[in-house]
Amino acid sequence: MTQRLCLVHYHEIGLKGKNRAIFENQLVKNLRRALKAFDVAAIARISGYVVVESADAHASEEMAAAIRRVPGVARVSLAYRCGLDEGDYVACAIRALGESGDFASFKVHARRSATTYERHSIDMNRLVGSALCEAFPDKKVDVHHPDVTVVVHVVQGSTYVYAASAPGVGGLPVGTAGKVVPLLSSGFDSPVATWMVGRRGATCVPVHFSGRPMTADTSEWLCQDIVDALAPSGVVGRLYVVPFGERQREISLAVPQSLRIIIYRRVMVQVAERIAHLEGAKALVTGESLGQVASQTLENIAAVDEAVSMPVLRPLIGSDKQEIIRRAQEIGTYDISCQTAPDCCTLFMPRRPETHARIAHVLEAWESFDHAAMVDELVERAEWRDFSQCPSYRPPRADEYRARHAELAGARKEGER
């Protein structure tokens, strides 16, 4: 019986050696989550691929498009699967090439993954190529630069035939690289940074710092929309929201105006680091791009990083704004980020922010208010919302979260005595 299915290709996973099965199993798990809206009959690993079968034995382009957005997927082919009968796979090849749209040239790439099939790949190429030349006499064969390549692959007792193939997002399956805590705003940069580390296999638990109660909660809703937009990739498991407006006002009254932004960010990364400890995360993530704004110079970045001991990942550090915007359009967050919303980034901004902060001046300003108590309070007031689209995320129980927070705050106070 011939059926049309989605043949999922991957690249990096194939290099994982003895750990390869772990990555493949996580990809299968993530695909099941991503395809909940479809009537899927089975998702299975075969040699070098993952096969997704639809219940009606006729996989659609819509299903293939959903698969392509899952990190770890390098390419998706709408393929026909049949047995080892030559007539069957030749008929599938004719059918696959006929569905390739407008083309002038083609070639056949046949191969077998095991020598148990008696026909050599060269013979398969000749057999299928000859049949395609008869079926499409107005098309020419071009083995070097064809418009369409018809692949005929014998693997594990079946033959997979396809010509239609489209690239996926690549990377590694979410859930294979640990947990990280991104600092998420409703702008362009941090959603892209969050998606990029998720594409490398990290489970993301972002923290949004709201200007509430000094501003409306619009930015919080936009951040939820951004997480929903990232749902096809399944990178976000929980969103934390920290009301920061009142504490920003306190900071603005206590520190020199030029250092406000740096002190804001030091408090923010310390809060994010505390939440990361509570979540069991191993790194923080920001959307900073070197030199893009005043707070993103090397000196200012170093002054912020000094406040935490956890690694801070900056996947956009070498990107310019146009590159970031293009990626935001690709992942579906651009239109949301275009909406203006007041948040903590718009509150109590200095007229002339420091661009090359000296660490001695920063530390002097840092000690001018009770920053440790402020961090304790902000973590205590953090709110959160869980998202079901990330199968690799396991939230801490609320009682455990509060107990661990109290333990960390108590240890901090004990250390100050």
Q: Residues within the annotated binding site for ATP?
A: 183-184, 208-209, 265, 287, 296
User: How many angstroms separate the CA atoms of 197 and 377, rounded?
Assistant: 29
Distance CA 409, CA 274 (A): 9
HEC per residue, the chain:
CCEEEEEEECCHHHHCHHHHHHHHHHHHHHHHHHCCCCCEEEEEEECCEEEEEECCCECCHHHHHHHHCCCCCCEEEEEEEECCCHHHHHHHHHHHHHCCCCCCEEEEEEEECCCCCCCCHHHHHHHHHHHHHHHCCCCEECCCCCCEEEEEEEECCEEEEEEEEEECCCCECCCCCCEEEEECCCCCHHHHHHHHHHHECCEECCEEEECCCCCCCHHHHHHHHHHHHCHHHCCECEEEEEECHHHHHHHHHHCCHHHHHHHHHHHHHHHHHHHHHHHCCCEEECCCCCCCCHHHCHHHHHHHHCCCCCCEECCCCCCCHHHHHHHHHHHCCHHHHCCCCCCHHHCCCCCCCCCCCCHHHHHHHHCCCCHHHHHHHHHHCCEEEECCCCCCCCCCCHHHHHHHHHHHHHHHHHHHC
Tell me the C-alpha distance between 387 and 207, whole Å: 14
Token pair 């990364």: residue:
269
Binding site residue list = 183-184, 208-209, 265, 287, 296
CA-to-CA distance for 131 and 340, rounded, in angstroms? 59
CA dist list (Å): 292 to 93, 190, 226, 265: 52, 13, 22, 16
Q: How far apart are CA 190 and CA 222, in angstroms?
A: 13
In single-letter form, the type of residue at position 347 comes to L
Distance CA 164, CA 78 (A): 6
What is the spatial distance between Cα 125 and Cα 279, in angstroms, rounded to a whole number? 54
